[in-house]
Structures are given as structure tokens and as C-alpha cells.
Amino acid sequence: MIIWGDIFCLIPAKTGIQWNSGLNKSYLPKPRLNVGAFLFESDILACMNLSEIIIYTDGSSRGNPGPGGWGAIIATEERVVEIGKGDKHTTNNKMELSAAIESLGFVKNLGDAYTVDMHVDSRYVINGITKWVAGWEKNGWINSKKEEVLNRDLWEALAGVVSDLQMSGCKIKWNYTPGHAGIEGNDRADVIATMFADDDVPDLFNSRRSEYKVDLVPHAGDPKLLALKKTKSNSKSGVKAYSYLSLVDGKLVKHTSWAECEKRVKGVKGTKFKKSVSADDERAIIKEWLKQSD
């Protein structure tokens, strides 16, 4: 039930993906729909016809599984569109994959060849699409551990849209972007994803790039923030533990002592364990693990 103004619309209707229509009529072809109808994606996409596109994506989940969301920023030289969606029961990796699939699907629907600069803070997504997926497909979707590949449906969808874009002449560059490092595009995608995970609807931008307040110029991150993250990691050895965390066979457990944690992980292959020094540190460790294991 959207046409013009700062009102949310679903495009296309069947996907439930949300974005802000927020469009001035001068930027759109003459609408074919009456007020109260859905504004179809083709009407918006006709406005974006430039050679280079920058994309930032992120996914979030409150538990593994649990409620989650994903967010993406799609920017040409003239326009920026934010999209996202929530899910009541999902995982972090599924949301990371969904953000990549939907943002590249958006580019695919533009119907032209572009240079696509992808900025993703999930090594799981980047390694999967650039290193692993071809082998998985060749081996019947069985991984190196002789197990079925998790999230096969999403990996197939991502591989499919990447293949379609490459066939149409698009060039896709995958860039790892460290989270919480002062990279504004990543920070904004994180806000969109976490708001959807918390069942809150963010105010999604859709207008001229010159009006967008988020700096989308790619960079390696704020050196001070990166150094602070490294310092925090290196300084934990001399700080009293807040908790000990272990991840065994996909199950996360919090421990009050190292002895308890060690007993669970000792002699078990493929485990993760780590000391946290605060509640915030504990949450950060859990979030990072959820990005790496699904």
C-alpha cells in the first residue's frame, strides 16, 4: 500500500523484502499502478543504470538458531538503496548468505553489466563462494569431512545468482570487511540486520547518494579500533575470566571455570574454546563463532 513518500514497501511482494520507497516522482518512470497498489521492483530499478555498484551486507541472529535478520546497502554513483528482512527462526550464517543472495539478486534485476564491489564481514560466505562451492557441487554437496553441506539451498541460490551475473558480463569482487572497525557501510548494514533480528523495522534509505550520510568509500578500517580489538585480545591472558566458552559439535556451553571447560573439550576434535573477560566480550565471541559455524 505504497506509492510515494517515506513509506515502506515490499518489493517484490512475494519476497517480503523491505525497503523504503522514499522516492521523488522525478526519479521514476510514470507509474502504472494506482495509489494503494504495490510499487513493483522494475519501476525502481529503472532509475539505477550505472557501471559500478558497491554493496555492504551483514547478517545477525539472536541465538543459533533464533530470531535473525539481514541487511544490505546497494549503491551506484548516484543512488543508494537499503534492503533487509527478518526471520523468526534462523541462524547467523543463513542471514549472512541471504544478505548476499538478495543484494546480488537486486543487481541482477537491473538487467545490465556492472562491476560489483561486495563488502562482507563473513569469511564463511567469502570462502564458500570463492573456494568451496565448486568442490561441494562436484562432490554431490558433501564436504571434506564427508558430511552433507549445511545450508545447501542457500549456497545453490548464491552460486546461481553469481553465475547469472557473470554470464551477463558482471564482474564481482569479494572483499572481507572486519566488523565493528569503523567501516560505516558495514556498521550500517549491521544496524539494519540487528534491528530486523529484534523485530524492529529500520528506516530504510532510498534516495540520492549525495543525501546519504553513511560513508561508503571502502577502506581497511579505523587503525585505532583495529588496534584496540587486537589489544583487547592480547590482554585477556592477565585478566580475570568472566566466563569460559566451548563449542562442541555445534553446541555452545558457558562454563564458570577453566577446569570445567577443559573437561568438555579435551581430546575432542574440531572444538572451540575461549575465555571471556566481560559480558560484552562474551557476546562478541559468541557472535563471531556463530558467523563461522552453522
Please name which of 242, 253, 249, 250 lies closest in space to residue 282, comparing C-alpha atoms.
242
User: 141 with 153: CB under 8 angstroms?
Assistant: no
User: 23 with 207: CB under 8 angstroms?
Assistant: yes
Tens of pLDDT along the chain (294 residues) come to 232 333 333 344 445 676 665 443 333 333 333 333 344 555 455 445 447 999 999 999 988 789 999 999 999 888 999 999 999 999 999 999 999 999 999 999 988 899 999 999 999 999 999 999 999 999 999 998 899 999 999 999 999 999 999 999 999 999 999 877 788 999 999 999 999 999 998 999 999 999 999 999 876 665 665 555 555 555 555 567 888 899 888 888 999 888 888 888 887 877 888 888 888 788 888 888 877 655
User: 216 with 185: CB under 8 angstroms?
Assistant: yes
The full length of the chain comes to 294
Please name the amino acid found at residue 145.
K
Please name the amino acid found at residue 71.
G
Q: Any idea which residues carry the catalytic annotation?
A: 58-59, 96, 121, 180, 190
Say if strands 52-61 and 115-120 run parallel, antiparallel, or are unpaired.
parallel
User: 58 with 94: CB under 8 angstroms?
Assistant: no
